[in-house]
Structure 1
Amino acid sequence: MATSPVETVTTSADKAKLFLAVAFVVAAVAGFYAFGRQGPLVQWGVLLVGLVLSAAMVLVSEPGRQFIGFARDSWREVKKVVWPTRKETLQMTAYVFAFVVIMALFLWATDKVLEWTLYDLILGWKK
């Protein structure tokens, strides 16, 4: 079931939530460096907490909810994809390699014919 695209107006509350999320990221990075003397466990804890708070703040805003809906729809579409079997994949890979080899031989032969025509016949430069 496909959802129809709906345009929503971003409210000032959503803008404030997104601003707060950016502030949490900035505070998390600043805290990571500010707590450098406390040890790596505290540093990474402060960073992780700030990033989780930021993600939570984004996800409760309207753009965050739209993103969650988009991600769910995308995952549903990925489940519908019919992936090739191992045999089909190997066959197509072999076809591609064969085409590359044939094309390389064709281009090499074309190059040699043009080289012979230009240098030996037209210009008379013998090697």
Structure 2
Amino acid sequence: MKAKNAETPDSSSAAEIIKWLIAFALLAAAVVGNHVYDDMSVVIRAAGVIVLIAGALGVTALTTKGKAAIDFARESRMEIRKVVWPTRQEATQTTLIVLAVCVVMALILWGIDGIMVRLVAFATGI
């Protein structure tokens, strides 16, 4: 894990707040613009929403938390590359074993339920 820097001065936190406000403003503009311009073509509105969302993501990526999220995504991608995935045959065999165990357990529980119903009916005289 990488060492974290100490808290940044107030000017940086003010810049962070401004970046977040810009990102939220862009998202709000996407929602409001899509509603206000509902008489325009859907393609144009969708393109506008996509551009505004991309802009909001771009501004968010410049924040401290955005950079941390991008670093986390990169590290996660590297970890996924290290995973040894099962072969098709192993996945199929494991799936069949799980299904078989589920069926056996369902039959066992069905049988126990039937016995319990008969015992309760016998005990209550129904």
Tell me the TM-score normalized by structure 1: 0.82
Correspondence for 2:7? 9
In the alignment, is residue 113 of structure 1 matched against residue 115 of structure 2?
yes
Q: How does 1:1-127 map to 2 (within 5 A)?
A: 3-4=1-2, 6=4, 9=7, 11-120=13-122, 122-125=123-126
User: How many residue pairs align between the two structures?
Assistant: 122
Any conservation in 2 of the 1:33–1:43 contact (CA below 8 Å)?
no
C-alpha deviation, 1:8, in angstroms: 5.4
Find the structure with the greater CA-based Rg: 1
Unaligned runs of 5+ in 1: none
Tell me the TM-score normalized by structure 2: 0.82
Letter in 2 for 1:43: R
Give the secondary structure class of the aligned counterpart of 2:108.
Answer: helix
In structure 2, relative to structure 1, the CA distance for the partners of 1:107 and 1:42 (3 Å cut) is closer
In structure 2, relative to structure 1, the CA distance for the partners of 1:86 and 1:13 (3 Å cut) is same
Unaligned runs of 5+ in 2: none
Distance 1:117 1:37 in 2: 69
C-alpha deviation, 1:73, in angstroms: 0.5
Distance 1:79 1:49 in 2: 31
Once superposed, what is the RMSD of the aligned Cα atoms?
2.0
Distance 2:61 2:124 in 1: 72
Give the secondary structure class of the aligned counterpart of 1:70.
Answer: helix
